[in-house]
Chain A
Amino acid sequence: MKRKEEDYMQDLREIRSIMERSTKFLSLSGISGVLAGLYALAGAYLAFNIFDDTEALVYGIPSGENVWDLLLIGTVVLLLAVSTAVAFSVNKARRKGERVWNPAAKRMLANMAVPLVAGGLLALVFLAKGLIMLMAPVTLIFYGIGLYNASKFTYEDVKYLGFIQMVLGLFGAFFTEYSLLFWAFGFGVMHIIYGIYVNYKYER
């Protein structure tokens, strides 16, 4: 059997594609990123209304009722964002004829989840100690670390998103009176920009 250059090229292309598909989770959807950003902006707006004067955010320990409101907002935003991302990813994988829960997805999630859980627990510690102003920055920083870590197993651009979240978190921790604004920018605006970017670059 005589094989030609075109066959060899096709072999190499196939090798490349399988290597990429089997190590990277490429079913993340841009639209779910945009939606997650919108949920975060809505959540930040509600949180702003709880602390209508920034003084309370910097020095104050909110009353017991406010703490529960904050936790509720955070949990609802998180659940909405995660379930939207899962639903869109399952859909995207199905359209490509792939399983969504493959080894690459597991690796990406594990790399993401470890820093996220640590950061979430630290945020709760800050809440218990009355360091409310550090809660938003710490979630940004650990989310950024999680993204940076997980980027090896998905679109490489996720690395830059992670980097930006870390920087925003550090700024938020320094300028605590604006920490909620930095949070809204990171989780809200950046997700929307990133979602549009992914949609434009990979889904058109």
Chain B
Amino acid sequence: MKISIDGLHKAFESRIRLGIMSALAVNDTLDFSSLKDYLNVTDGNLASHLKALEKEKFVAVTKSFIDRKPNTRYTMTKQGRKAFEEHLAALENLIKSQK
């Protein structure tokens, strides 16, 4: 896993990815359009960031159909939660140490 010296995850350097993880940390599951709503990003942008998180195995995807329309739901994995919490702790430490 890519972690820089200060304990920050490379995967969370992008604020959009950090935003996705924040929303998933407090919601069991969210669909694509809800995520898009909270983050104010375009479809393509959000999809590529989600794909990256999926590749890291931080986010799990379930696809289904509701009224014959495809519905994609995202969940945070155990691994993702651990990484996110570590990242938060690292952020706090950095702020404290710079004071």
A1-27: which have CB < 8 Å to B?
A: 1, 5, 8-9, 11-12, 14-16, 18-19, 21-23
Query: What's the minimum C-beta distance from A119 to chain B, rounded to whole angstroms?
Result: 28
Interchain CB contact under 8 A, B26 and A8: no
Residue from A8, A23, A97 in contact with B40 in the complex, judged by beta carbons closer than 8 Å: A97
Indicate if B55 sits at the interface (CB-CB under 8 A): no
B48-91: which have CB < 8 Å to A?
A: 88, 91
Q: What is the interface of chain A, defined by CB distance below 8 A to chain B?
A: 1, 5, 8-9, 11-12, 14-16, 18-19, 21-23, 97-99, 102-103
22 A-B pairs with CB atoms under 8 Å apart are A5-B95, A5-B98, A5-B99, A8-B94, A11-B91, A12-B91, A14-B15, A14-B18, A14-B22, A15-B19, A18-B23, A19-B23, A19-B25, A19-B26, A22-B26, A22-B27, A22-B30, A23-B26, A97-B40, A99-B33, A99-B37, A103-B27
Q: In the complex, given contacts A22-B26, A103-B30, what are 17 additional A-B residue pairs having Cβ atoms less than 8 angstroms apart? A: A5-B98, A5-B99, A8-B91, A11-B18, A11-B91, A12-B91, A14-B19, A18-B38, A19-B25, A19-B26, A21-B38, A22-B22, A22-B34, A23-B26, A23-B27, A98-B37, A102-B34
